[in-house]
Amino acid sequence: MIYIVLGTKAQLIKMAPVMQVLRTAGLPYRFISTGQHRETMDDLLANFGLPGPDYRLYAGRDITSVLAMAVWALRILWRTLRQRREIFGGDGRGIVLVHGDTFSTLLGALMGRVAGLSVGHVESGLRSFNLFHPFPEEAIRLATFRLSHILFCAGPWAVANVSGVRAEKVDTGSNTLADALRHAVVATGVDDVDIPSEPFAVVTLHRFENLYSRTALERVVAIVERIARSHRLLFILHPPTAKKLREFGLDARLAALPGVELRPRYDYFRFIKLVSAADFVVSDGGSNQEECFYLGKPILLLRKATERQEGLGENCVLSGYELEVVDRFVAGWAEHQRPPRFPLRSASELIVDRCREFE
């Protein structure tokens, strides 16, 4: 049996194409949700035409604080130890697929090991080579590499990064996100997105490194204020970001800016429609970096380091939070525009082909 363990919205976006390929091929699988982003999963499942999880390890509210994360993780590990036969069966056969670099990734890998199953890590081999940027994602990746039996790597650079890890490496050539994006760009029923008639840019921030302290969040808010002097900005609010802005009293500061419009988070297909219409994107997200690479959309990354190579030196500029870099990008964003580019082969199909022996 193939088990897919995930818990965040980004993970579902990238694993939905794998589940679609499994369903088309008639291969049974079991979708296990850790519940990290339970409240935001339903719209995505509807986007991709997928059924809900077969098993929910947590049914509370979305995890948006460090304390809640710690309690949630301990609860899931304890439940897995007690109910592993119910969750995974008792024959020790099959593979647990985990994705990326979240706490759900590490939990899923640990669960697979506890159950005596093989573990496959999708989007493996990505490295920033800086333990604290991003944190804790880089540490989670390093731990997950070593817990996994099969590493599904999106290209030669990622394969080389895990050359010293004792696990099978599979080069998928690209990321499953490209498969998800293919669905999004041709999606119907998303014409209700309010797209401004005048030029605009999209801002979206959610990483722990930009939210954990008032100083960190004030730094990115000041950059947003700086960009808003010359561009209309649509600031798409992730729930943790909205919570931290309120907590530090910065939401009113943003709302008062004439060039900034705060909007709630969209479902994936509508978000991609908005991004496709924007001049450029300002983000701290690795997924957004990759999406913009495939779309050829200019993107300014509000990070010190990135684990991805896609777009660097082309459509993507890594700011390092340096104001001179920000100003240069904003003044010359059009120079970073590129034609859309999509891989010829489907990473999701390659992953499923490798997992057929576990059905």
**CB pairs under 8 A, 24+ apart, for 287-295?**
287/10, 287/13, 287/14, 287/177, 288/204, 289/316, 290/175, 290/177, 290/178, 291/177, 291/181, 292/316, 293/341, 294/177, 294/178, 294/181, 294/340, 294/341, 294/342, 295/181, 295/185, 295/340
Q: Which of 78-82, 128-132, 353-357 has the highest mean pLDDT?
A: 353-357
pLDDT in tens, 255-268: 999 999 999 999 99
pTM: 0.91
Q: pLDDT over 70 for what percent of the chain?
A: 96
User: 53: which strand partners?
Assistant: none
42: pLDDT strictly greater than 90: no
Gap between the Cα atoms of 22 and 16, Å rounded: 10
Q: Report the range of poorest mean pLDDT among 28-42, 91-105, 199-213, 319-333.
A: 28-42
- pLDDT of 207 strictly over 80: yes
Candidates 3.40.50.2000, 3.40.1790.10, 3.30.70.100, 3.40.109.10; CATH matching 201-265+278-336? 3.40.50.2000
The DSSP annotation for 324-359 comes to: HHHHHHHHTGGGG-------SS-HHHHHHHHHGGG-
Of the candidates 185, 170, 190, the one whose C-alpha atom is nearest the C-alpha of residue 95 is 170
CA–CA separation, 217 and 204 (whole Å): 13
Which tokens sit at 121?
């890590």
Mean pLDDT rounded to a whole number for the chain: 92
Residue 149: pLDDT above 70?
A: yes
The torsion of the CA quartet 216, 220, 225, 226, rounded to 10 degrees, works out to 110
d(CA 108, CA 119): 9
Mean pLDDT confidence for 220-248: 95
Enumerate the domain spans of the chain: 2-187+345-358, 201-265+278-336
Ramachandran category for residue 339: left, alpha or beta (phi over 0 → left; psi -120 to 50 → alpha): beta
Residue 59 has pLDDT above 90, yes or no: no
Give domain 2-187+345-358's CATH number out of 3.30.70.100, 3.30.70.260, 3.40.50.2000, 3.40.50.1580: 3.40.50.2000
Q: Answer yes or no: same fold for 2-187+345-358 and 201-265+278-336.
A: yes
Query: Helix 239-247 to helix 214-228 angle, to the nearest 10 degrees?
Result: 100
- pLDDT reported for residue 6: 94
- pLDDT 10s digits, 261-320: 999 999 999 999 999 999 999 999 999 999 999 999 999 999 999 999 999 999 999 999
Condensed to tens digits (0 to 9), the pLDDT of residues 163-205 reads 999 999 999 999 999 999 999 999 988 889 999 999 999 999 9
236-258 pLDDT tens trace: 999 889 999 999 999 999 999 99
